[in-house]
Homo-oligomer: A and B are copies of this chain.
């Protein structure tokens, strides 16, 4: 975490986001507040000893606060003893995006780009249903993550993942003119849209776990149902809805990866492969980012237990995906 030193006695100051907050009783019977604070660079344990609500105020997870205190080591880890704490004020001019891992692009910008592609489809039915669903779910889409724990589990990750796939689609359609471009792109836009009902996400854009519906129905069958309903509502034919539903039901490729069906036509097959490709790129870049050059990672559970290698070739830019 980033702290600003404010004197030469170890006193520091920072804006930060509360990730967890528990009121506890010490062995002497006093109250203290046990906090996990975070910013984009990491997190730290913090304590407010002799905590009193009237004096310090009340706090909860997902609150933005300003804290001052002193740093020390406890069992090998940094810990902050908080002397002063207060909620962030409008005049502080800080926003939640600054404190959680977020897409490099703003949700609005990504949404606009995706929406304008949908809105320019020549195929009336595909245009109607994608525009309708993007508008219906706009509020959540603007900041929703793409996962609880895996790839793109960051604020704005859902649109980032969607947009990356749409860009890959362009390359694929140039290589293979036989591909039905608008069907492929409509499928890409809708394939994960039911993730907006799969996790519980606070306004920070970080998922805290799966919803009951996410666990029992999932975003594949859930997405197909959602298209089924929307297509009735906006008069899209059963044939077109069925193609999109199949793409959503099959986009995990194999049953062992959660697919309800194996993809059966070219655009469905391409969507499932591009979905996997973008997820893999994210996870590989994320896992190798902290490595030194010519170093190997540990075994990656989500990548068949393989180790990853960071080769030592010079790279033009050290950017993260975009």
Contact = CB atoms under 8 A, between A and B. Distances in A.
B269 A280 contact: yes
Contact of A180 (B171, B315, B321): B315
A213 to B, nearest CB: 6
Contacts of A168: 171-172, 175
A221 B180 contact: no
Contacts of A317: 177-178
A265 B308 contact: yes
A176 B321 contact: yes
A181 to B, nearest CB: 9
B171 A216 contact: no
A55 interface: no
Nearest to A280: B269
Interface in A254-301: 254-256, 258-266, 269-270, 273, 276-277, 280-281, 284-285, 288, 294, 296
Contacts of A117: none
A296 B213 CA distance: 12
A149 interface: no
How many copies of the chain does the oligomer comprise?
6
Contacts of A176: 164, 281, 285, 321
Given A175-B171, A177-B319, A288-B266, A254 B217 contact: no
Contact of A215 (B170, B213, B276, B296): B296
A225 B245 CA distance: 11
Nearest to A296: B215
Counting from the closest, the 8 A-B pairs by CB-CB distance are A171-B171, A255-B255, A260-B260, A216-B246, A167-B175, A262-B306, A264-B309, A265-B309
Given A172-B277, A183-B313, 14 more contacts: A167-B171, A167-B175, A168-B175, A178-B318, A178-B320, A180-B311, A212-B296, A215-B264, A220-B221, A264-B296, A264-B308, A266-B281, A269-B284, A270-B281
